[in-house]
Chain A
Amino acid sequence: MEGKQDYDLLVIGGGSGGLACAKEAAQLGKKVAVVDYVEPSPRGTSWGLGGTCVNVGCIPKKLMHQAALLGGMIRDAPHYGWDVAQPVQHDWKKMAEAVQNHVKSLNWGHRVQLQDRKVKYFNIKASFVNEHTISGVTKGGKETLLSAEHIVIATGGRPKYPTHIEGALEYGITSDDIFWLKDSPGKTLVVGASYVALECAGFLTGLGLDTTVMMRSIPLRGFDQQMSSLVTEYMASQGTHFLKHCIPSRVQKLPDGQLQVTWEDLTSGIENVGTFDTVLWAIGRIPETRSLNLENAGINTNPNSQKILVDAQEATSVPHIYAIGDVAEGRPELTPTAIMAGKLLAQRLCGQSSDVMDYSNVPTTIFTPLEYGCVGLSEEEAIAHYGEEHVEMVCLRKPPQLVLGLHLLGPNAGEVTQGFALGIKFGASYKQVMQTVGIHPTCAEEVVKLRISKRSGLDPTVTGC
């Protein structure tokens, strides 16, 4: 397209993917602008620059998970000789303030980084006017028009509300709100079986709060199911209540301020009622595409998920418009993949590289009380792909027995899985795993000591060294 545009690159969304892409492109000499805007949650929660990860995701989640784990360590401490008075009380207000201050310092850090790299930042809500122009509106209603040669959409997603459930919107909160609560959520009902649901329920329980998880069917759909049930079993042993095969039908507010939830037990068909201080919906996320006016630019979305359709180059149906991160169809909803995809995209746009993002063998970890780290295929996926007779311990039976996936449940699972991800990404075989000496005493060494297959039926429980 001829004519001078305001910017070489305009990034819509100042989250993990958007900022990484913008900063990389600026560093490579392009004139870049980032527009970021946070529509307040139904409860009114809002936050600064940095996206979901920084403000209402990974960061505050890991901090609260750590807070909960510390509680466990304090309880164990006397057994190791420490003189710690029991029981120890947790002050939500104090923790919340510390977490929120840390998040705000990260918002600041991102703003400074953009300034340093000469990326122009606008706190405006963007929507497409045409394929090279967006209209941005400030909180106060002032409109600006911005045009760019290339546009990257990285607007991410937001939690879903079950609007068909009476009282859900008025009385429930989501992960957008939980990390910004000034006061303790108290007795909480977490509805959902996602990792968001389980991670939140996990740290709430660890902090000493009466927590219940209500699930319609299986936990952690898409993840290895054997591991997923181990995750929930552990949580139950730590005090999290589980209402399995139940679906909520109504949320009402009681005169004393508490919430009354009515639900149906799908197994018995019986309707039950319970009282909670807080109801947290963790039933999934929807992409932030509704108010972008994508049709004005001719950008196609998946009609079911509403996510933006992209190719291997992250390009949308419009050649100079791209989409990365949670908003793009078929991509993992993870910060590191969004960041890497954003950087590679910037490099390609600046002619520095032709590498595309490799989304295979992406390691990840669920930070439930007992952490679950994994990389590669789940057992179900491996069987579906290769056939049951070919799969053993999530590696191929045929020599050299390529490792297809690794699943690890235990403390610091994320730290442990990271190292193994390197080996798996570059085609480690089971033979190579067996040849690797373990570090003793650690939990990680169990990976290289794996010798018992599920098919053998033998008991894999480790008793001695």
Chain B
Amino acid sequence: MVQIIKDKDELKTFLKAAGCKLVVVEFSAKWCGPCKRIYPLIRAMSLQYGNVMFANVDVDDSKELAQEYHINSVPTFQMFKQTQKVTLFSRLKRATCCYGNGFVSEPIFEFCGADAQKLEAKIQELM
């Protein structure tokens, strides 16, 4: 299931609810051809990877959110996890992350373009 996110508050709530799970947010647009093509693949991934949360933000419906996350092209995939960056420190922290109460608002990874294989590979790596 891909959650539609409309604004900053909804994103905050979604990220918080994700806990330690990997969150994949796709920034897309209705007029974007590649976005349409990759949509069924994302939906399939959301059903396949139960421990990964998927969300979608429409850059026209949610202009402020798209601007805040510096979206320049569509589709752009941003991934979030409780840890800020994937460093040695954060890997150690991950072992204890579920006990922390911090929530992250910066993506740990981002890429642009409708490359489903690249997306899936990254998800498997980070989840």
Contacts and interface: CB of A to CB of B under 8 A. Distances in A.
Contacts of A111: 63
Interface residues of B, number: 14
Contacts of A138: none
Interface string B52-87: 000000011001000100111110000000000000
A100 B31 contact: yes
Nearest to A106: B31
A231 B70 CA distance: 48
B67 A105 contact: no
B32 interface: yes
A102 B31 CA distance: 7
Interface hub of A102, A104, A116 (most chain B Cβ within 10 A): A104
Contacts of A112: 71-73
Interface string A54-95: 000000000000000000000000000000000000000000
A115 B74 CA distance: 16
A432 interface: no
B29 A104 contact: yes
B60 A104 contact: yes
A115 B32 contact: no
Interface residues of A, number: 10
Given A104-B60, A108-B59, A115 B67 contact: yes
Given A104-B60, A108-B59, A116 B72 contact: yes
Contacts of A104: 29-31, 60
Contacts of B63: 111
B31 A101 contact: yes
B100 interface: no
Interface in A170-194: none
B62 to A, nearest CB: 13
Interface string A343-369: 000000000000000000000000000
B33 A101 contact: yes
A105 B72 contact: no
Contacts of A105: 29, 31-32
Interface hub of A104, A105, A108, A112 (most chain B Cβ within 10 A): A108
Contacts of B32: 101, 105
Contacts of B72: 112, 116
A415 to B, nearest CB: 27
A36 to B, nearest CB: 13
A30 to B, nearest CB: 21
Nearest to B74: A108
Interface in B98-115: none
Nearest to B67: A115
Contacts of A108: 29, 31, 59-60, 74
A105 B36 CA distance: 14
A26 B63 CA distance: 22
A111 B70 CA distance: 11
A54 to B, nearest CB: 13
B66 to A, nearest CB: 9
Interface in A272-328: none
A115 B67 CA distance: 8
Interface hub of B30, B31, B33, B67 (most chain A Cβ within 10 A): B31
Contacts of B31: 100-102, 104-105, 108
Contacts of B67: 115
A116 B29 CA distance: 19
A104 B74 CA distance: 12
Contacts of B71: 112
7 contacts: A100-B31, A101-B31, A101-B32, A104-B31, A105-B29, A108-B29, A115-B67
Given A105-B31, A112-B73, 10 more contacts: A100-B31, A101-B30, A101-B31, A102-B31, A104-B60, A108-B60, A111-B63, A112-B71, A112-B72, A115-B67
- Which A-B residue pairs are the 8 nearest by beta carbons? A101-B31, A104-B31, A112-B72, A105-B31, A115-B67, A108-B29, A108-B59, A105-B32
Interface of A: 100-102, 104-105, 108, 111-112, 115-116
